[in-house]
Amino acid sequence: MKTTDVVIVGGGPNGLLMACELALAGVRPIVLERLPERSASPKANGLVGRVVQVLDYRGLYERFSRSTEPPTPAPYFQFGALFLDMSAWDGNALYTLPLPQYRMEELLEQRAHELGVEIRRGHEVTALSQDAEGVTVDVRGPDGSYRLTAGFLVGADGGHSGVRKQAGIGFPGITDKSFVGLSGQVTIHPPVAVPGTGELEVPGLGRLRPATFTRTENGVFSYGMFQPGVYRVAVFEWNRPPVEDRAFTPVEPPAKDRAFTPVEDLREAVNRVLGADVPMSDPADGQGPPPVRDTDGINSRLADRYRQGRVFLVGDAAHVQSGVGGPGLNLGMQDVINLAWKLAADVNGWAPEGLLDTYQSERRPAAERVIMNSRAQTALLSPGPNITALREVFTELLGDQSNVRRISDLMSGADVRYDMRSDGPAHPMTGGWMPDLALSIENGPTRVADLMHAARPILLNLAGRADLVEAASDWADRVDVVTATCEDRPADAVLIRPDGYVAWAAAPGTSGGADALRQALRTWFGLPVQATSLTGADLH
């Protein structure tokens, strides 16, 4: 017998978000995390791209940002340490949310507990097997070994995923060993630290802004400030050529017998790269995680498949890439949002045939694009006169706002458009992200984001179309119908998947469309409640 509906291996941001999503859909997940407590090691510095809107669409943005206002896109950003000016145009989807990963995990764990999720820390999966009915895992915990059975297993256990290896899923790619890096959380002292601004005044380089990269012929320097006086610093130094198809090995921890303290190592590396001293010391007690982490090159790899039977991969278990531009959690957490509702549909008994296969067909191409752009950014950060010339060409190209928009959409994930498998011409919204329209409903003003908090499909009726409401009535157990109005409505009605993407839309001012809506409902949300009374023609 099943112990639970879904076992999630890994208690990082991706695993915890998966647990929250499944719980919202009435599914019972158990999270198994190898570490006995949350890691304080410096990892991700924040969120960049569409994922910020994802949090807003789940009602989590206020927790993460401590702001009651909706997110606003970043007016400026960088691509390979080249300036992107997005301040002059609408439709920018490159949102940013600075927040250390250990704080993200804390907030997501709080939400998971509110939803009744069981999280087992200090529990490591030692073996897994599966058959047509489910997955069995052997687990080693603080009180000994035991066995769990579930309908599905989700591997959210990072780049060195044991789930991926035990499932026999390949992880091809390259290991770029051309540089080494150090990163850490430190206190930076005046006069280099500019009081009250988060900026640094570096002798010989001038004023540096947080969340930017500075490239020199010796390497790359970047930093951010999450609380007054405490900075997250990263520095990379170029030294060796890339190694093709190198085995994917764990990052080695800092040696314990070094002559200098870790912060002194980091300070010296920054000095070598910038050619100037940036005075720094350990953060004050209680102001963050241990100071320094080594990075020995970059692995750029993509799982050859995202699914093996009843085992699925999300996040770094499925793909790893350079952290330049902050793509990792944007990609991984959207994997989660895409997969969770589909797993829940199967567990709850209404998933249409082939729904689970769309996880790979939709998300793996998105990962290919992220790996492409992260490799391109790494190349632009490399040393040498040829790269300097290439950067000059890119700088000219980025003077054209259409090119800036393309790069911005690539980095944010706004260029992702799913194939919604409809017959005939589709509305331009179909397959894309549902914009956060300002709406008026019976109870007053609201937003699309507010309607999506429950993680359920929605038919948004913007033109009072009774025929479309009637067409959706047989899916009332799993699809919510909301009648609303908005200025300059983009469609008469929009069918929104739980992950925020548009499955179908009716052009404004048109008639008909009920049959096409029923087809989309069957395609994505299964047979109607009254399927037993439908004719064979209705079902095809």
Residue 467 has pLDDT above 70, yes or no: yes
**Tell me, what's the pLDDT at 265?**
87
Q: Which structure tokens are listed for 246?
A: 């190198």
DSSP code per residue over 489-528: -S-SEEEE-TTSBEEEEE-TT----HHHHHHHHHHHH-S-
pLDDT number for residue 293: 67
Can you give the C-alpha Rg of the chain in angstroms?
24
Q: What is the rounded distance in angstroms from the CA atom of residue 420 to the CA atom of residue 184?
A: 44
pLDDT at 348: 97
Task: State the first-to-last Cα distance of the chain, in angstroms, to the nearest integer.
Answer: 35
- Over residues 479-496, the pLDDT tens digits come to 999 999 999 999 999 999
Per-residue pLDDT band for 352 (boundaries 50, 70, 90) equals very high
pLDDT at 161: 97
* Confidence band, pLDDT 50/70/90 cuts, at residue 539: very low
Under the banding of pLDDT at 50, 70 and 90, the label for residue 261 is low
| SS3 call for 154 | strand
Residue with tokens 């048109």: 510
Token pair recorded at residue 259: 């002559």
The pLDDT, as a whole number, for residue 288 is: 56
> Where does residue 61 rank: exposed (0-12), middle (13-18), buried (19+ CB within 10 A)?
buried
- In whole angstroms, what separates CA 71 from the centre of its chain? 16
Over residues 78-122, the pLDDT tens digits come to 999 999 999 988 889 999 998 889 999 999 999 999 999 999 999
pLDDT of 239 reads: 66
The pLDDT value given to residue 504: 97
State how far the Cα of 35 lies from the Cα of 285, in Å rounded to an integer: 23
pLDDT (0 to 100) of residue 255: 42
Q: 144 has which bridge partners?
A: 141
Residue 536 has pLDDT above 50, yes or no: no
| Average per-residue pLDDT for the chain | 90
Give the separation between CA 437 and CA 485, rounded to whole angstroms: 10
Question: For the segment 148-172, what is each residue's pLDDT rounded down to a tens digit?
Answer: 999 999 999 999 999 999 999 999 9
Q: Which bin fits 297, alpha (ψ -120 to 50), beta or left (φ > 0)?
A: left
pLDDT surpassing 90 at residue 229: no
Whether the pLDDT of residue 505 is over 60: the answer is: yes
Q: Which residues have C-beta within 8 Å of that of residue 13, sequence separation ≥ 6? A: 44, 101, 104, 105, 108, 315, 329, 332, 333
The pLDDT value given to residue 291: 55
The larger pLDDT score, comparing residue 100 to residue 255, is at: 100
257: pLDDT confidence band, cut at 50, 70 and 90? very low
Name the E strands within 16-143: 29-33, 46-48, 76-79, 82-85, 96-98, 118-121, 124-130, 135-141
pLDDT value for 286? 58
Residue in the block written with tokens 């009651």: 68
What confidence score (pLDDT) does residue 535 get? Answer: 38
* Residue 42 pLDDT exceeds 80: no
Sequence-distant (≥ 6) Cβ neighbours of residue 441 within 8 angstroms: 482, 483, 484
pLDDT per position as a tens digit, 304-331: 999 999 999 999 999 999 888 889 999 9
3 state SS of 183: strand
